[in-house]
Structure 1
Amino acid sequence: MVRSSGSVAANYIEANEALSKKDFLMRVKICRKEAKESKLWLRLIKADDLEDDRAKLEQEAHEPTCIFGAIITKSGA
């Protein structure tokens, strides 16, 4: 979980320092992929005491996926 969510941030920083539009889009696509993976890991958590928090965290993981998807679409990929 920590690795995939940390990768979103690291790749977003790299996207902002991209050398070309193609490089930017590739890194944003990686961000979207890692955000989806973070959501998957949250779905796999089965602890009863985290049930309410898990739904909130899943939504938090879904939002960057939508944001990165919109960036990709608007960038012409």
Structure 2
Amino acid sequence: MTDFEPPKSRAELRKRLYFFTLKLIEFIDLLPKDNVSQRIGDELFSSGTSVISNYIEGQAAITKKAMTEFMLEAIKCTNEAKLWLALLRDSKRANQQKVKWFLDELDELSQILASLINSKEKL
């Protein structure tokens, strides 16, 4: 794991998640058009875009418990997205450097989301 600068505000984290999601959509759009790549791409789209949606739902949660559940779901989605990315990388269906960026970003986002669960305030 690398050292990283956590976001300083909700707006900053939301922007980072939004940027990640846009880049992911562009990446998926460029996958080969074969059946396997498209199916993996569908799974990656589902899990990858669920990270931001769960974060946003968590921010709207009324209780700390509900927020925690959404953050945990977002973390699960980062883990699932990493699986699909690794399969694309190892089956040589995607650019290795692009996949590395996504994997690194998902690692950091997962750490940030986990830190939110332990914090007293919502970020």
TM range (shorter): 0.7 to 0.9
Aligned pair partner of 2:66 in 7, 15, 23:
23
Regions of 4+ moved over 6 Å: none
**SS of alignment partner, residue 44 of structure 1:** helix
Identical residues among aligned pairs (%): 28
Q: TM-score, normalised by structure 2?
A: 0.56
How many angstroms apart in 2 are the aligned matches of 1:55 and 1:25?
Answer: 28
The runs of 5 or more residues in structure 1 that have no matched partner are none
**SS of alignment partner, residue 95 of structure 2:** helix
Q: TM-score, normalised by structure 1?
A: 0.86
Aligned length: 75
Paired position in structure 1 for 2:54: 11
The structure having more radius of gyration, on CA atoms, is 2
Matches within 5 A, 1:16-55: 16-45=59-88, 46-47=91-92, 50-55=95-100
The runs of 5 or more residues in structure 2 that have no matched partner are 1-43
More helix by share: 1
How many angstroms apart in 1 are the aligned matches of 2:46 and 2:63?
Answer: 26
More relative contact order, 1 or 2 (CA 8 Å, 6+ apart)? 1
Paired position in structure 2 for 1:63: 108
